[in-house]
Amino acid sequence: MRFVVIISLLQLLMIPSYGQRLSAWDHGNDEIKESVTLPILYPTTFTRERELFNYNPRFFAQKISFMPDNTPVMRFGVQGKMGNHCSQYLGKYAGPNNFIQYLGKDGKWYTTDSHVQAVKSYLKMSKNTELKVYSGERECDMVEFDDAGNAYTIVRADLNGKMKSYFLCSIDCMKSWQVIPLERGGNFRIEADGFHNDRKNPPVIINKIKTGIQLFIPKLSRKGKITLKGPIMLAKEPKSQYHGVMAGAGNASITVGGRTYVVYMVNEERNGVKGVPHYIVSYDHKTGEVSKPLFLGESGHRLDGHNSPVIACDSHGYLHVLLGTHWHSMVYLKSEKPFNSQSWEAPQYVEGNGNNQWSRNGITYPGFVIDHENTIHLVVRGRNAVFKKEDTADPADNKDWQDILDYAMVYVRKREGGDWENRKDLVTPKHKDYSNWYHKISVDRKGNVYVAYLYYAHNLNEKEDEAYDRRWPNETVKDGIVKSKYSAHDPVLIHSVDGGDTWKITQTPDLEQSINKE
């Protein structure tokens, strides 16, 4: 297949180094009154981790990635129009609206905006000119690392009302960055996250455009110069979608065994079936061959843009795919052969066990990783509804429905060679209407599992509305005077070091202990 090299070495720009600073979040004191083991039950809608346990993290909890020595890194920023970040953030920083935070060797948290300054320098913007970087639960706010410690991230910025994305590479621990402008529009993502993903090379970039899904291949020379091959068209399907990062944020792609595999849904009925069809396509890095998309199956009971699939790989090379749903059981598939997407074992259903056309014990938004022992970890938003009477109608018409819906954050596990275990509720809200966790799952270099979440409660009743005002009395939307009653607040990071047996609220010493000191 013919590649188009869209960036030459002459177009690369090595950005001067920008300094770090101590994080404004690192207060240096205790983060919690005592170690907290989950599950957690909120007694009221706005009585949560901070109120229950005096939880005051020294970091801004966000999806976490890890350097080769297991140093934790989290990128975060002020939200755009669609976002609901913690309002406390706004008083902590001035200037650029996107930061990378990491734990220093001295046990203190540091932040840098070197990636933002790099793009500003590339664009020849003055230091006093703001570059609006899109951030938050709907953006690919991740810094990924290869095995050599080189860092990669994508910056999506607003330039005079137009969106533009940039791929960044740092070979000096995020002090300076090379900047490559990407095509306008689309939905660019890097996905190196995953214990068995290829980390010998830079992470590939996937992109959703109007006509389908593209792939870009970064190459890092021995002299540390980054180039980009592409675009390579993987799926010529206008109605294709891959898994979003708003909640769950499982991988839509994985690179193993010399191939990149991408799973996606097509929001269009197939052969009259009311569910969402799912496909897998692969790219061979040696031959340049793009496989023909293979149909994997349907999920859900109707067309739904939330029903997107996710993919992971175990240490033996077997592919694992979950066909996501919005309120129903999820369909789990395992490849019959290692590093091969052409044949699959019989599907299994995960959770749900629904007995009508809507949802009973359904799950949605899959966070999906495999650890060093080949245990599959799945964190989802639950929907633990069990009607008090048999009814196949829309649950919104059932007066008992609202009283029994919980929207818990749910954990499900499958050990190597074992069956899917029963669900465990990690956090259960008091609020009985719509909720979301904006949860993001990661696995570190030792196989420990982390979940960052940001709880959001919608459609507040009168008492909840008053409680919200007491909790955040000065909160307003960005440019108006109407109070933002539907914002998520107070992000939390939890982890498990025993393969999912127990989960605890994460403190800085937990992360510091996991860093290799050699």
The CA distance from 99 to 353, in Å, is 42
188 contacts 154 by C-beta, under 8 angstroms: yes
In a domain, 219, yes or no: no
Q: Which two tokens stand for residue 158?
A: 């607003």
Letter string b/e over residues 112-124, b meaning 16 or more CB atoms within 10 A of that residue's CB: bbbbbbbbbbbee
Q: Which two tokens stand for residue 111?
A: 């932040």
Per-residue model confidence as pLDDT tens digits over 215-235: 999 999 999 999 999 899 999
Letter string b/e over residues 383-410, b meaning 16 or more CB atoms within 10 A of that residue's CB: bbbebeeeeeeebeebeebeeebbbbbb
> Of the candidates 110, 94, 8, which has an alpha carbon nearest to the alpha carbon of residue 59?
110
In a domain, 360, yes or no: no
The pTM for the full model equals 0.90
Q: 3-state SS of 473-507?
A: CCCCCCCCCCCCCCCCCCCEEEEECCCCCCCEECC
127 backbone dihedrals φ, ψ, rounded to 5°: -65, -25
The CA distance from 468 to 275, in Å, is 38
Letter string b/e over residues 303-317, b meaning 16 or more CB atoms within 10 A of that residue's CB: bbebbbbbbbbbeee
Collapsing DSSP to helix, strand or coil, 41 comes out as strand
In a domain, 499, yes or no: no
In a domain, 2, yes or no: no
**Which residues does the chain have with pLDDT short of 50?**
1-18, 80-91, 93-95, 353-359, 387-403, 478-482
What range does the domain containing 120 cover?
13-24+62-200
Give me the residues paired with residue 266 across strands: 240
157 contacts 133 by C-beta, under 8 angstroms: yes
Collapsing DSSP to helix, strand or coil, 93 comes out as coil
pLDDT at 483: 52
pLDDT at 135: 79
Query: What's the number of domains the chain is made of?
Result: 1
